[in-house]
Structure 1
């Protein structure tokens, strides 16, 4: 169905900066899909994510992400593309000098939200989704690693993204907490937000099978098995 695809890359060459990292990349991810991205360090995983969120430009081929044409994407449009994306990193990137509430409020105001009631309601809504509504007034250092990553996921959900890019989101977490985070991301995908999760954790993939794409030898392989 038209409108169900959130990422389309056709015959895309990815350079970093002038070195060809991935050649002839073809990828399609639909609304609500959960996809694992695997590959050795330096094989192009991060470069692929950077193409998707507009950090790198397409050298050749075609790309559409959340309705934006990556080939024609201007610097001015990049922030608007990123409002359609949620990004979750291994290192939590929370503002350590302010509460969970103020972290989320900062992100909302930075993306154009002004109405205080709407801001409050949206913050409570996303914290409810990640099971942290009671942690609104906590500082990041008062939270466990898993709770901090849940706050990051809540922040990624603030603007109702069409896709969440999760780059090693369990890299700093123990196995049990890692599994909880992936279960949460899978639950989010069932509500219609596509998830692309880069990971080195093959145990997680074995425990929670899903579509796998792999970077290596300068190419992207789809539907691989491990």
Structure 2
């Protein structure tokens, strides 16, 4: 076990990232993320942040270089393995992608059942745990339209945490929220990180970088560099 736990959760070596199969957006990307790290991913719109995240969760194929994410070798991965890779990751998007015809609990239950959970009481317990974790313990029966934008984003984070991922990948998770609510969401991420889950968060909010010191990785001019 020790050998496994000391291995990086994400490791990219000499990776080139293409958009639409042919447009090179980032070249010779090398970086790793270890257990419990908090990493901000910054860069202008169009600098390749989303493409980098998509490569990590198997939405874009790794064409060249070597990438290992939660034990999966991206350059060798088959389409059929993508759902298994994603079960070990938590993914938080800017748009919430909730089912608006189901309540909070049903939204979360759908994901657990889709990922192989069958035991009713285990499902109920896990849902209640993740809702407590994001500060929504009293809202399982609410419909998404009864929640504020910030509360909906908390549901999305709870959903991402359901299968106890080793890392959360968050793409501009506060992009659609006003500053005060964005701050609350940032604190939810801090709590999750303190409890041991690594986080890679793409953000345009430079206040966060000052307020929550962490590693910062920047996409710029086709390269990915760590900012010291």
Aligned-pair distance for 1:28?
Answer: 0.4
Aligned-partner Cα distance in 2 for 1:179–1:204: 8
Matched, 1:6 2:9: yes
The unaligned stretches of length 5 or more in structure 2 are none
Deviation per residue, 1:105-146 (Å, 9 max, x gap): 001111111111111011001011111110000001111111
* 1:192 Cα offset (Å): 1.6
Task: Note if 1:25 corresponds to 2:29.
Answer: yes
Map residues 115-194 of structure 1 onto 2, 5 A cutoff.
Answer: 115-194=119-198
Give the TM-score normalised by the residue count of structure 1: 0.96
Question: Can you list the C-alpha shifts for 1:186-207, whole angstroms capped at 9, x where unaligned?
Answer: 1111222110000111122222
Q: TM-score, normalised on structure 2?
A: 0.96
Q: What is the alpha-carbon distance in structure 2 between the residues aligned to residue 91 and residue 28 of structure 1?
A: 27
Aligned to 2:72: 68
Q: Deviations over 1:76-124 (max 9, x none)?
A: 1000000000010111111111100100000111111111111101100
Distance 2:208 2:171 in 1: 14
Where do 4+ consecutive residues of structure 1 move more than 4 Å?
none
- Give aligned pairs, total: 224
C-alpha displacement of 1:19: 1.0
Structure 1's unaligned 5+ residue stretches are none
SS of equivalent to 1:135:
coil
Q: Determine if the alignment matches structure 1 residue 207 to structure 2 residue 206.
A: no
Deviates more, 1:77-86 or 1:196-205: 196-205
